[in-house]
Chain A
């Protein structure tokens, strides 16, 4: 058990990163904060100073302010996509696990299927159908979350349905939907929470990728992915413009990964000494 200390550390580091991220996102949205999207071309590409702690970008915008505000867009998209994915995927997985039927087959297949599609192609197609912006990013990422949650819940719930007390509940004539909500869902909750953490991290990565190719959050809303895109041509001139948002993405994703890893060990004690 000498590993448990290390794992607790992972949990704490992850929790602190995520908490700070949330605070930064909320703080940057406070009404009194200076507007990070304000363009002052006269002050472009300034080095870090007292006034601009991380300097300014090619349009004279404050890099620190942009990065802080970028956290809110990232989180909003990731949370929206997880809400969409879990909101549809969890009930689907629960329903599919109650009986072996066409639905369970469909849930199993859909997962293999949706991942055979090049994700970015779907995002581009959605971009053309729904238009650009936050809702497009949420939809494009959320669609991929649906089968993930359905599959995870299905796999977990399948073993729960065979438990004795569930059989007993069935025998006394409880309806499937009641059993699912009252008994199966609470037992599967730990697994769902772990998956939520993992998908939030992946969502932040995906949002960054989408915004980087211009399919995510639209200007002038600051976004880490688009900041990286704009920094690319300037990387020889001002590498910090690329370093800061990239580090922000990596830290945010790492926070969710650490949290998810630690939580999955908490949910499944068998993993405590292993994978």
Chain B
């Protein structure tokens, strides 16, 4: 077990290293001189040179790569050139929006998706199963930003129940939560559909297994066999999907943050790319990538602890 964990840990570090190098080169191939873009086309040559020096752009590429990795290791992500504050501070300001939003969305998706999947698996091949299936297909086909617009139209413009967008911070907690409800619903809808489908498929796969037959033969009722035996086994694949969903929600909210004018991580990256604020782009992307890799790692480990068969 310990060797297994160490081996995974080495894999995790290697993936992170490759990811950081990849991010560096992705930004390197961007056309245009960042210093020129900041100063404009009519900048004086000596100002340009000075800024290039300040940004370290006059260093050879290998030096800058090593510098970037060193910065990552120390957690010092550099300075933003548009906001003139450290990148870490900027990210720290945005996380209180993105993180709760991702958590609320995932919670909604779990509360709707998993019972839906269980219900469909329990009443397999009935009208209920088909209804869940059709509903998930429809939810998956709807673009979440369109759903967001419809929600705004109904609940903000027509009914005036919830705000149409914006976020004024956590000082007023009810206001903050009501600002996050509509975006969270829009984000959660397709994720709930995915969870329902995965839960149903994993449950049915386990329900068809002989151990369920054995449990039924021992006298367990169908639902007791499902909840006590099939469900825990099915949860392993559901858990790994949830891990992916969380990191997706953290990163994939760019469009939804734009719809609702939420000052989250996604918007930060979106604006930073347009302003050629490379330190922000690389720092924030790296954080999202690292969180995805990290969450996958934790989920893998949890699966190993839950399921002894995986340890072989």
Contacts and interface: CB of A to CB of B under 8 A. Distances in A.
Interface of A: 2-3, 6, 109, 112-113, 115-122, 124-125, 128-129, 201, 205, 208-209, 212-213, 225, 228, 231-232, 235-236, 239, 242, 246, 249-251, 253-254, 257-258, 261, 273-275
Interface stretch (B44-52, B148-156, B175-183): B148-156
B258 interface: yes
Contacts of A116: 15, 19, 247, 289, 292-293, 296
Interface string B125-154: 100001000000110111101100110110
B252 A212 contact: no
B254 to A, nearest CB: 5
A112 B150 CA distance: 33
Contact of A113 (B18, B26, B255, B259): B18
Contact of B146 (A6, A228, A261, A273): A228
A242 B150 contact: yes
Contact of B254 (A118, A242, A249, A261): A118
B201 A274 contact: yes
Which 6 A-B residue pairs are closest in the complex by CB-CB distance? Answer: A275-B201, A253-B141, A246-B146, A254-B141, A118-B251, A116-B292
A205 B149 contact: no
Classify chain B: how many residues form its interface, as a range.
Answer: 35 or more
Nearest to A237: B157
15 contacts: A113-B15, A115-B292, A120-B254, A121-B254, A121-B273, A121-B281, A121-B288, A125-B27, A213-B254, A228-B146, A236-B153, A246-B142, A257-B141, A274-B201, A275-B200
Given A213-B255, A246-B149, A274-B204, A205 B143 contact: yes
A212 B197 contact: no
Given A3-B125, A225-B143, A236-B157, 4 more contacts: A6-B130, A115-B244, A208-B143, A274-B124
Contacts of A275: 197, 200-201, 204-205
A74 B266 CA distance: 25
B150 A120 contact: no
Nearest to B16: A116
The main secondary structure of chain B at its interface with chain A is helix
A112 B296 contact: yes
B30 A118 contact: no
A129 B289 contact: no
A136 to B, nearest CB: 13
Nearest to B29: A129
Given A232-B259, A275-B197, A125 B146 contact: no
B31 interface: yes
Interface of B: 15, 18-19, 26-27, 29-32, 124-125, 130, 137-138, 140-143, 145-146, 149-150, 152-153, 157, 197, 200-201, 204-205, 208, 244, 247, 251-252, 254-255, 258-259, 266, 269-270, 273-274, 281, 285, 288-289, 292-293, 296
A2 B125 contact: yes
Contacts of A124: 269-270, 273-274
Contacts of B208: 274
Given A205-B143, A213-B258, A235 B152 contact: yes
Given A116-B292, A129-B31, A236-B153, A253 B140 contact: yes
A47 B263 CA distance: 36
Interface of A is mostly: helix
A120 to B, nearest CB: 5
A118 B150 contact: no
Contacts of B138: 250, 254
A71 to B, nearest CB: 15
A203 to B, nearest CB: 12
A258 B125 CA distance: 17
Contacts of A117: 285, 289
Contacts of B270: 120, 124, 213
Given A116-B289, A275-B201, A125 B252 contact: no
Nearest to A201: B141
Contacts of A125: 26-27, 30, 273
A242 B273 CA distance: 28
Contacts of B255: 120, 209, 212-213
A250 B289 contact: no
Contact of A128 (B18, B30, B269, B296): B30
A249 B201 contact: no
Contacts of B258: 213
B153 A209 contact: no
A259 B115 CA distance: 26
- Most B-side CB within 10 Å, residue of A121, A231, A242: A121
Contact of B269 (A121, A129, A205, A212): A121
A239 B151 CA distance: 12
B30 A129 contact: yes
A34 B269 CA distance: 41
Residue of A120, A246, A251 ringed by the most chain B CB atoms within 10 A = A120
A3 B125 CA distance: 7
Contacts of A2: 125
Contacts of A232: 149, 259
Nearest to A229: B145
Nearest to B296: A112
A274 B117 CA distance: 12
B52 to A, nearest CB: 19
Nearest to B152: A235
